[in-house]
Amino acid sequence: MVENVVPKQTWDALAGNPEAQLVDVRTEAEWAFVGVPDLSQAGKKTVLIPWQTYPGMRRNDAFTEQLADAGLTPDHHLYFICRSGARSMAAAEAAKAAGFPNVYNVADGFEGPSDRQGHRGVTAGWKADGLPWRQP
């Protein structure tokens, strides 16, 4: 079972635990057009590994190998984030099954659910919580 962790708790872990890393599993298009968490204040960089490939949204079959290629080990505490928390949960479960024991899902993801007007990033999630992010 993978634990859901709210964005502010994730930020605290990233800032306070040298072994904590954030893995953004959204697509390259999302990183480019929506933005990415900015971990510079914590002295880190977000690890960007897509769970699915755009535009077909096929699963990235090399995902767990790419975690290792990024220098992540079973000693790391890995926090997975996507747009809303669904893809990141699947990615966290795959990482756990591949031998990464300390995995967490960032609840509500980077943008959270849509509000009544269909806008994301205003009711819940990384952006709505006022955590640092940047547009590449």
Which residue ranges form the domains of the chain, and what is each CATH number? 3-131 (3.40.250.10)
Burial (CB < 10 A; 0-12, 13-18, 19+), residue 40, is exposed
Query: pTM (2 decimals)?
Result: 0.94
| Distance, CA of 27 to CA of 7 (rounded, Å) | 20
**How confident is the model over 88-102, as pLDDT tens digits?**
999 999 999 999 999
Q: Which of 52-56, 102-106, 111-115, 121-125 has the lowest mean pLDDT?
A: 121-125
Contact 32, 6 (CB under 8 A): no
Name the phi and psi angles at 59, rounded to 5. -60, 140
| Distance, CA of 60 to CA of 26 (rounded, Å) | 11
Spatial CB neighbours of 88, under 8 Å, sequence gap ≥ 6 = 25, 51, 80, 81, 82, 105, 106, 109
Predicted local distance difference test score (pLDDT) of residue 112: 86
How many CA atoms lie within 13 Å of 80's alpha carbon, on the beta-carbon side?
29
| Distance, CA of 30 to CA of 110 (rounded, Å) | 10
Predicted local distance difference test score (pLDDT) of residue 115: 80
